[in-house]
Structure 1
């Protein structure tokens, strides 16, 4: 059964599972695959192809594989999910979030309000990406990663100057259980290792060691993560 609001546009060869709820003004592009028990709220756009700016460094792609939405997924009002994104089961994507092309999001992950996940990212299972955080292109987040509100990650050490930058773009890596506090900035190519933690407002200029807390600008070692805070000790 599909419950549809008004002005819903569904492209050719879209497939639906059972128990689908579509809000008003939803647009679903051709070929999109949607699982069972999925809720897509008002004004959401699913399967959109990227529009390339003339000055973009990304290669022009005429066609992309369709978007795949798993079972039990909720997609909030005015969220945009691009073509070639794969959303696993039980993911929650809040209002105004954007998930770009060639992104995978693992089972049970929460993508908060206004979050932007740029192209070619991999997000693990059971992550929490909170309001208005920014995940730069070519980043990888492991399972059980926590990203607090307004965190910024970056991938261009040359800040859009010089041709040398073109083959040196590198996103950030956050290993399993890594956590980044509110309003922190992580510089290109940096890795936060397993259970590493970044205190709020920090600027990460070096890799963060496993089970270590860093803070400050530039972020420096503060102390080890307490035993009761380690991922292995959570219920």
Structure 2
């Protein structure tokens, strides 16, 4: 749905985040493998905003570097003088913008585009409110600012918790801080905001009171508390992560995937899952994963930067690292690790194997305990295994090396030279059996031990 007028977003990200106890800026701590600020910017992008301005402060260099690739502008709040003061720092960046402004917070990353659209649509409803505030009703209102409003959503008063009376603190409708305001109203009203309050700060919500004093009105619309959950500590980050994961698990199941124990599966922000996929308990997806239809991911597998083709099987206890590509109907079994390796259609590596920097042809079978020795201490080298090849258990393939189509590598071989197609390579000492030797050895050693007593 198109918004009625151009949209700009101002995202506040100037706070120091001292409770995170981290050298990484608070808004750059990841949710599902992606900085929370970028989650929010991505949601804003669904509105096709004319501009997005991120207000920075402490740790500005980190934030500026993070948002530059997505085309967001930045504005500096050199002193932390409150939310109203922070928004005002974006005025220069939006000096020639005439439209609706969304005020958002970089540490509130789960706001949906649909909720932002509702705010903007409410700003243009009959009666044209001066501002729309996003409210919520948490289980514990705690120290949130309160919104006093009528049943029609018209705001009578907004007050910070520190300044609220006992009666106002008894109100359970809380201010998320998110707001939609016309640009012309926003800058005019912000210039009038004072700091005569318990914190000595310039509060953004005061623009609502100023508008009401002018004879205009503002309204509140509500959303669920989870959507406006903020992150000020690592514990709160974990709670927001869990909310995001719950959403994603529900989406995966609604789209046709079976999650045996949903609460134990962890997705990344960009995980793509096909239909009729079965995911067993305790599976972790890192960024960059695409799973085709009818794939089975067995328990305790870790998948990152990998593509898994239709009908393939992974795990249990498998690890797919970046660059792993599994063709349709291929199998990766327990305690198998792939890195920058391609497993051809129907190929199998079912047990205790490492395949790094390798290409394995269709229908090949890799025996238990096989490794590709891809690193010489300085450089990585590739191993190529042909279609239908058979590599026996406990073999070491010293790259660079090629095993031809249909070749057989005998168990226990250390292969250092190329093997032609349909050949057998056997690289191990000939067995030597000495009858009775073990018994004679034990007798000799027992007698020697007795002499020392």
TM-score normalised by the shorter chain: which range applies? Answer: 0.7 to 0.9
Equivalent of 2:272, from 33, 36, 39? 33
Residue 139 of structure 1: aligned partner: 358
- How many correspondences in the alignment? 185
Q: 1:15 Cα shift?
A: 6.4
Q: Within 1, Cα distance between the matches of 2:247 and 2:360?
A: 32
Kept in 1, the 8 Å contact 2:248–2:267? The answer is no
Of structures 1 and 2, the larger Rg is shown by 2
With normalisation by structure 2, the TM-score equals 0.39
- Give the C-alpha shift of residue 203 in structure 1: 0.8
Partner residue in 2 for 1:121: 341
CA contact (8 A) 2:323 2:341 kept: yes
Indicate the residue corresponding to 1:81 in structure 2.
303
Matched residue of 1:183: which SS? coil
User: 2:260 matched to 1:23?
Assistant: yes
Hey, what does 1:150 align to over in structure 2?
Answer: 369
Q: 1:216 to 1:11 in 2, by over 3 A?
A: farther
CA drift of 1:171 comes to 2.2
Q: Distance in 2 between matches of 1:171 and 1:100?
A: 16
* Structure with a larger share of its residues in helix: 2
Q: Distance in 2 between matches of 1:14 and 1:103?
A: 27
Between the aligned partners of 2:365 and 2:326, the Cα distance in structure 1 is: 14
**CA–CA distance in 2 between the matches of 1:177 and 1:98?**
24
Q: Is the 8 A contact 1:180 1:199 kept in 2?
A: yes
Alignment partner, residue 111 of structure 1: 332
Q: 2:321 aligns with which of 100, 114, 120?
A: 100
Change (3 A) 1:190 1:11: farther
- Residues 14 and 187 of structure 1, relative CA distance in 2, 3 Å threshold: farther
Gap change, CA 1:18 and 1:178, over 3 Å in 2: same
Q: 2:256–2:274: 8 Å Cα contact kept in structure 1?
A: no
Equivalent residues of 1:147, 1:180 under 8 A apart: yes
Give the superposition deviation at 1:101. 0.9
Deviation digits for residues 198-229 of structure 1, max 9, x if unmatched? Answer: 011111111111100111238xxxxxxxxxxx
